[in-house]
């Protein structure tokens, strides 16, 4: 005999597989037909869950249990997607904006990987240059943030 409940779950899993599927699940949970609890959440109400999930990732890594690590990383990823959806609903930014911001930051902070003109000078060690560049780039980012805050006030 076929278990109809499992068929429905298998169909939902196939329908919502992958990152796009997870994004669509969050959007559905927060929709009019979704979950009342999920619809009520805000960036403020999610703060404790973000902290809890981050701590659970650390605990899972410490345990060395790969399935626990995978599950907890998923829970933390859910928080990022959930929060991004809340901000997108308010028309402030989207998950794509979050992703593009981290892509820009990673490229900017790793010129030794992404800058075709990067080269070591004679006598330089790559690890030393990486650290020096990292500190310089972070200082530039902080300065730029301060200037932007003053500019946008």
Segment 37-71, tens digit of pLDDT:
999 999 999 999 999 999 999 999 999 999 999 99
Considering only residues 145 and 58, tell me which one the structure prediction assigns the higher pLDDT: 58
Assess whether 15 and 76 both reside in one domain: yes
Domain assignment of residue 134, given as a range: 110-153
Assess whether 83 and 120 both reside in one domain: no
Looking at residue 1, its pLDDT comes to: 43
* Boundary (domain end) residue, out of 62, 92, 122: 92
Assess whether 20 and 57 both reside in one domain: yes
Assess whether 16 and 53 both reside in one domain: yes
| C-alpha 2 chain-centroid distance | 39
Instruction: Give the span between the Cα atoms of 72 and 49, in whole angstroms.
Output: 12
Assess whether 4 and 76 both reside in one domain: yes
Q: How many domains does the chain have?
A: 2
Considering only residues 73 and 139, tell me which one the structure prediction assigns the higher pLDDT: 73
Query: What's the pLDDT band for 152 if we cut at 50, 70, 90?
Result: low
Cα 117 to Cα 111, 112, 114, 120, 143: the distances in Å are 9, 9, 9, 10, 25
Assess whether 60 and 121 both reside in one domain: no
Looking at residue 17, its pLDDT comes to: 86
Residue at 100 is within a domain = no
Assess whether 9 and 82 both reside in one domain: yes
């Amino acid at each position: 005999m076929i278990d109809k409940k499992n068929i429905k779950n298998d169909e939902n899993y196939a329908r919502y597989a992958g990152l796009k599927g997870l994004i669509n699940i969050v959007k559905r949970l927060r929709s009019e037909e979704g979950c009342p609890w999920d619809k009520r959440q805000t960036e403020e109400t999610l703060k404790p869950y973000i902290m809890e999930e981050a701590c659970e990732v650390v605990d899972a890594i410490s345990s060395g249990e790969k399935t626990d690590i995978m599950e907890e990383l998923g829970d933390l990823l859910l928080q990022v997607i959930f929060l991004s959806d809340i901000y997108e609903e308010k028309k402030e930014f989207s998950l794509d904006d979050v992703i593009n911001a981290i892509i820009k930051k990673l490229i900017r902070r790793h010129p030794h990987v992404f800058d075709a003109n990067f080269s070591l000078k004679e006598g330089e060690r790559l690890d030393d240059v990486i650290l020096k560049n990292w500190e310089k780039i972070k200082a530039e980012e902080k300065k730029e943030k301060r200037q932007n805050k003053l500019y946008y006030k």
